[in-house]
Amino acid sequence: MRLEDCKIIVTGAAQGLGRHFSLRLAEAGAKVAAGDVNEEGLNALVEESKLLKGSIVARKLDVGSEADIGTFVAWAHDAMAGLTGLINNAGILRDGLLVKRDKATGAIAKLSAAQWQAVIDINLTGATFMVRDVVAKMAETSQRGVVVNMSSIARYGNRGQSNYSAAKSALAANTKTWALEFAPFGIRVGAIAPGMIKTPMTDGMSDKAREALVAMIPVARIGVPEDIWLAARFIIECDYFNGRTIDVDGGLSM
């Protein structure tokens, strides 16, 4: 698929990777429907895109709400006069050890149900319903296209991320499942599993933690959004890529 032919939804578009994807797509001439809970960030994104070859329209989207997802997909289809794909990017972190001992008191503490459920609701259930509703709309209109899921190298397991690892590994597995299911509609599905990438989500790390992580990366640097965009662009443009997850992590093993 040519980028200039894309009419594509990007979730989590107000900042970080989603913002970068949206601008890169619009630079190439694509039409983008950007969604996020951060309306201020969306407004800034639309303003920045005004001189680009393509276009970005934006609307508040809470992927934790099934009703909101349905409304957004219908709106995006109408706003772009069609729909050819999805970059399924929205996600959150609520890290914590499943079981830990308090260093001061020696008491055993457990990961809360709220921490677990918040990540599952957004990163897995919401992401799944986004795919469902986008593909249903494309199938109704006999539109071929592509879905790009955002997984993570945490899908292999990472200390303190039981919830995040569970969600991201499920997305990688379902990338294959959905590629098989959506083949009759002419819709491909690919996924990207980023490593450590410089985004607002990772900027909160301490210098010590950041330095320790960089020391584990063979290319000796943290990734930038452009690194992940190159993988997204490949998935969109290569019509023979389907049902696979690309690790873009600088060679990091967690």
Token output for 148: 């790009």
| CATH (residue range 3-245) | 3.40.50.720
Question: pLDDT band for position 94 (50/70/90)?
Answer: very high
The domain spans of the chain are 3-245
Three-state secondary-structure class, residue 204: coil
Whether residue 33 contacts residue 8, with contact meaning beta carbons closer than 8 Å, is answered with yes
- With a cut of 70, say whether residue 161 has pLDDT above it: yes
**Would you please indicate which residues are annotated as catalytic (active-site) residues?**
164
pTM of the model: 0.94
What pLDDT, in 10s, does the model give residues 18-64?
Answer: 999 999 999 999 999 999 999 999 999 999 999 999 999 999 999 99
What pLDDT, in 10s, does the model give residues 165-222?
Answer: 999 999 999 999 999 999 999 999 999 999 999 887 677 777 887 788 888 899 999 9
